[in-house]
Amino acid sequence: MSANLPQQWLDRAVEDLAVARLVLREDHIAHVCFLSQQCIEKALKAYLIAKTNDYPRSHGLVTLLDLCVSLEPAFDQFHSDCAIIDQYYIPTRYPDGIPGGLPGGLPGTAEAQEAITAAETVLQFVTVRLA
């Protein structure tokens, strides 16, 4: 793998977060939640690539986070946020993606803001560790 591959993944995570912030202003809540999930996914994959030179072909944040925790237990602080945001991956993109996938219905503005905050925090945490 390329030596700068982790940085490429981080760059994509930064882009996803930037777009999430933009679309929040336009009240496109489902897209904000999806892009926040993508930001976290890419940040975690950047960390895994940097530390193990590999990553699983999974979109599951909890799966990726558990691998990061096995390398650095401090990642466990993000477990609750990742478990929530993990649920946004399919239902925020497809109206019939997973019947009952979000029991409370689609996320609202408050959840979207929380997703962005979580994405910012995870991205910063990973960025510091890979600096």
pLDDT of residue 55: 94
pLDDT of residue 12: 99
Count: domains in the chain: 1
Which residues lie closer than 8 Å to 78 by C-beta, 6 or more apart?
40, 65, 118, 121, 122, 125
Number of C-beta neighbours around residue 54 at 10 A:
10
What tens digit of pLDDT does each residue of 82-111 get?
Answer: 999 999 988 888 877 655 567 677 899 999
CATH number at residue 73: 1.20.120.330
CA 21 to chain CA centroid, nearest Å: 14
- Domain with 66, as residue range(s), is 5-130
pLDDT of residue 106: 82
What tens digit of pLDDT does each residue of 54-82 get?
Answer: 999 999 999 999 999 999 999 999 999 99
Which residues lie closer than 8 Å to 40 by C-beta, 6 or more apart?
13, 61, 78, 82, 85, 118, 119, 122, 123
Entry pTM: 0.93
Q: Contact, 38 vs 89, CB < 8 A?
A: no
Query: Looking at residue 53, what DSSP letter applies?
Result: S
> Mind giving me the DSSP string for 69-99?
HHH-GGGGGGHHHHHHHHTTTTTTT-TTSST
